[in-house]
Amino acid sequence: MTEKVLLLGSGELGKKLTFAYQELGRQVIAVGHYADAPAMQVADGFEVADMTDSMMLDAIVKKHQPDYIVPETEEIHSECLKIYEQQGMTVTPSAKANELATNRKAMRHLAAKVLKLRTPNYLYASNLDELIFCVKRIGLPCVVKSLTSSSGKGQSLIRESTDIEVAWNAASRESPEHSRVMVEQYIPFESEITLLTITQKEGPTLFCPPIGHRQARGDYQESWQPAMIKPDQLQLAQKMAQKITWALGGAGLWGVEFFLTEDRVYFSEVGPRPHDTGLVTLAGTQNLDQFQLHAMATLGLPIPEISLEKAGASAVILTESSDTRPVYSGLDEARKVPQTDVRIFGKPLTRPYRRMGVALAYGEPEDDMEVIRDRAQEAASKVKVK
């Protein structure tokens, strides 16, 4: 019988993952919290559900009896994933990895205290007075983050002490029961990278060429591959990525995030699934894109090698309007930018700053990356979403 993949999360990364599993002969049931989500449009079946609700999730798992459960979002009841794993289903890469990815405190403890990876200094605060105390100890500027959220939600930079109260309100609102927030040393990095790391069922851990990226409002704006970083820093980042993915366990592709300064490599965080900055691999930068790699690794198929084929860049296509059915224009103009491609995700509704698509640009590995990045930006800027 055809093996069945239950994809938990149906965004743009899920859509590409769906194709990747289908092209490997598997059936995909896509689950998402709203109807007509990108992955649902192409999957073999779909369910609309709140995946943080254990009863809803149980009912879906019971109905579909999947061979593989592939989380594509953090908003999943993580206790349930552990139970499914105990029942013999494969949760990719592992239930533990998904649980810790939703818990900044537990993940940081594993990285900094257990594995002794270099991370920014950090402390936790449970109320405004504690936050004031922590900011004094960490020093200004510093970053305040909620313990559970992603995509920069609830995150703020404290430049001076008058920013503390606003930061507390923003981060604690995103934390469960307004409990705790993390205060982190601000790293004035020269660059930040994602190291896509692949752990295999059998076979060595593999690394993709590093991806450079730029964020705004804590959210991804553009990325490029390969990022030119010092060979010793790359080696160090690979070692750190190997340690953390090994500790979390299982097979799959991981997005491991680092901050690089002149002489240091800081581990920031890790996601146990394809990464938004990894959309750049759709520009044909590698022999296999991040979605194919995740699908192959999670199914236990051997990956012979990862090779750099091109230099590439991606730039997000955002919208400013809200709650309307998107209408795209300028695609013809974007097509005129040489060596580029535009991918629209097919989200049913707009929302301010919502990522609706991505522009990709490519060139030869020896080409000037600035020029390739400019082409991706130019193509993205031509596309308007109303």
Q: What's the CA gap between 132 and 372, in Å, rounded?
A: 44
Shortest Cβ distance from residue 194 to Mg ion (Å)?
8
CA distances from 12 to 357, 365, 385 (A): 8, 27, 16
* 3 scored as a contact of ligand ATP (CB under 6 A): no
| 222 binding ligand ATP? (CB under 6 A) | no
**Cβ-proximal residues to 229 (8 Å cutoff; 6+ apart), any chain:** 191, 193, 210, 212, 237, 260
Query: Min. distance of Cβ 363 from Mg ion in angstroms?
Result: 27
Q: Identify which range of 42-50, 125-133, 255-263, 337-345 contacts Mg ion by CB under 5 A.
A: 255-263
Chain residue at closest Cβ approach to ligand ATP:
150
Per CB under 6 A, 330 contacts ligand ATP: no
**Virtual CA dihedral for 28, 349, 49, 276, nearest 10 degrees?**
60
Neighbours of 316 (CB within 10 A): 22
Distance separating alpha carbons of residues 173 and 149, to the nearest angstrom: 10
How open is the CA angle 144-145-151, to the nearest 5 degrees? 130
Q: Does 75 bind ligand ATP (CB under 6 A)?
A: no
Binding string, residues 132-161; x marks residues near ligand ATP by CB under 6 A: -----------x-x---xxxx--x------
Stretch that binds ligand ATP, among 64-72, 175-183, 184-192, 204-212 (CB under 6 A): 184-192
Q: Which helix (H) or strand (E) holds 4?
A: strand 4-8
Per partner kind, with CB cut-offs from 5 to 8 A, the member of ligand ATP, Mg ion, none near residue 141 is none
Interaction mask 96-135, ligand ATP, x per CB under 6 A: ------------------------x---------------
Nearer to ligand ATP, 187 or 349 (CB): 187
Q: Does 269 bind ligand ATP (CB under 6 A)?
A: yes
203 binds, among Mg ion, ligand ATP, none (CB under 5 to 8 A by kind): none
192 in contact with ligand ATP (CB under 6 A):
yes
The pair of structure tokens assigned to 48 is 């609309």
- By CB under 6 A, residue 215 contacts ligand ATP: yes
Q: Can you spell out the DSSP letters for 292-304?
A: HHHHHHHTT----
- Span interacting with ligand ATP, options 131-139, 203-211, 213-221, 345-353, rule CB under 6 A: 213-221
**Catalytic residue positions, numbered:** 150, 152, 257, 269, 276-277, 355
Whole-angstrom distance, CA of residue 9 vs CA of residue 57: 12
Instruction: Specify the DSSP class assigned to residue 25.
Output: T
What does the DSSP 8-state code read for residue 176? Answer: G
Tokens of 266: 């800081």
* Interface with Mg ion (CB under 5 A): 257
